[in-house]
Amino acid sequence: MQLSQDFIISFVILSLLFFVAMILWFLLAPRLGFKDLIKRFVLWDILCGLKITGIEFFKRKKTVQFPEEFTPKSARFRGLLALRRYPNGEERCIACKLCEAVCPALAIKIESEVRSDETRRTTRFDIDAFKCIHCGLCEQACPVDSIVLTDESNYTLDRKTQIMDKETLLAIGDYCEDKIASNRAEDDDYR
């Protein structure tokens, strides 16, 4: 390459000036110590981050293959709502409305009347499953263990099935009764 002497000299001076300015800026602007400055220049923190994900890449994966595998469930799992019956087939619910009163999401609506056998019974027991937050307070409030949260978690509801009425809830209760009973027996000592 054919470049004039002047050009080379001015080039070197300019570059040196620029170099000094850079060093000053790096030293003064972020007010970093020398160690930190070096760390910055070699992208130390970035490498540390990459190391973490790099190690994780080779670790054992924690995925549970859902339809084939299940995560273990506690006996206290709070899933789908249900109404239980006594072994003789009589519904447990006595329309005391304590669950309705305690429900923080106002998901329960109960209407009651005197049934022909002079007992207190519900004429309407609706749970808005979209409002329900599965807190389990209704289950705790129930004096007759009627309303329960089953450990059933695999279900879908849409706008047509969103309101679960008394028949639905009792049917769920009938379907899950064995599991409800065994879960309750397991948890009995702590209640």
Partner 1 sequence: MGEIYFFIVTVLKSLLVILPLLGAVAYYTLLERKVIGYMQARVGPNRTGARGIGQPIADALKLLFKELLLPAKSNKFIFVIAPILSLAPAISAWAVVPFADGWVVADANAGVLYLFAMTSLGAYGILMAGWASNSRYAFLGAMRSAAQVISYEIAMGFALVGVLMAAGSMNISTIVNAQSGNIFHWYFLPLLPMFVVYWISAVAETNRAPFDVAEGESEIVAGFHVEYSGMGFALFFLAEYANMILVSILAALLFLGGWLSPFEGVPVLEGLLEFIPGVIWLLLKTGFFSFLLLWLRATFPRYRYDQLMQLGWKVLIPVTIFWIFVEGVLILGGVI
Partner 2 sequence: MKKENIDIEIDGIKLSAKPGEMLIQVADREGIYIPRFCYHKKLKIAANCRMCLVEVENSPKTLPACATPVTPGMKAFTKSKATVKSQQAVMEFLLVNHPLDCPICDQGGECELQDVAVSHGADRSRFDSEKRVVSDEDLGSLVGTEMTRCIHCTRCIRFCEDIGGQKQLGAFGRGGDMNIGTYLERGLQGELSGNVIDLCPVGALTSKPFKYTGRSWEFQQHLSVSPHDCVGSNMYFHSFADSSDNGSKIMRVLPRENEDINEIWISDRDRFSYAGLNSTDRAHSPMLKQNGKWKNVSWQTALNYVADSLKAIMDAKKTDQIGALISANSSCEELFLFQKLIRAIGSNNIDHRVTVNDFTDEGSFTTFPAMVKPIATFANSKLIILIGSNAREEQPLLFHKIRQAVQNGSSLFVINSYDYDFACSLSGKKIISSSEMLEFLVSVNHMLATNLSVGDISSQYAQDPEILDLVAKLKAANGSVEIIAGEQLESHIDAAKIRSWLYQLKVTLGGNLHHLTKGANAAGAWLTGAVSHRSEFMMPASKKGLNALEMLQEKLPVYFMHGQEAEYDFVDPNLAIDALKDADLVISSTSFVSDSMLDYADVILPTAAFSEFSGSFINCEGKLQRFNAAVMPPGEAKPAWKVYKVIANLLGIEELNYSHCSEITSILESSLANVSHDGFWDLIEPSYSDKSEISRIGHWPSVRADATVRRSEPLQKTLDENIACARINPKYAVELNIIDGAKVALQQGDVQAKYICLHDDKVAYGNIYLSTGLDGNNNLGNAYGKITVVGVES
Could you tell me the smallest distance in angstroms from the CB atom of residue 184 to partner 2? Answer: 19
> Applying CB under 8 A, which of residues 23, 47, 101, 185 lies at the interface with partner 2?
101
What does the per-residue mask of binding to partner 2 show for 103-142, with x meaning CB under 8 A? Answer: ---x--x-xxxx----xxx---------------------
Query: Using the rule CB under 8 A, is 144 a contact of partner 2?
Result: yes
Query: Using the rule CB under 8 A, is 49 a contact of partner 1?
Result: yes
DSSP codes of every residue in the chain: ----HHHHHHHHHHHHHHHHHHHHHHHHTTT--HHHHHHHHTTHHHHHHHHHHHHHHTSPP----TTT------TT---SEEE-B-TTS-B------HHHHH-TT--EEEEEEE-TTS-EEEEEEEEETTT-----HHHHH-TTS-EEE-S-------TTTSEE-HHHHHHHHHHHHHHHHHHHHHHGGG-
Using CB under 8 A as the criterion, which residues of the chain lie in contact with partner 1 when the complex forms? 1, 3, 8, 11-12, 14-15, 18-19, 22, 25, 43, 46, 49-50, 52-54, 56-59, 61-63
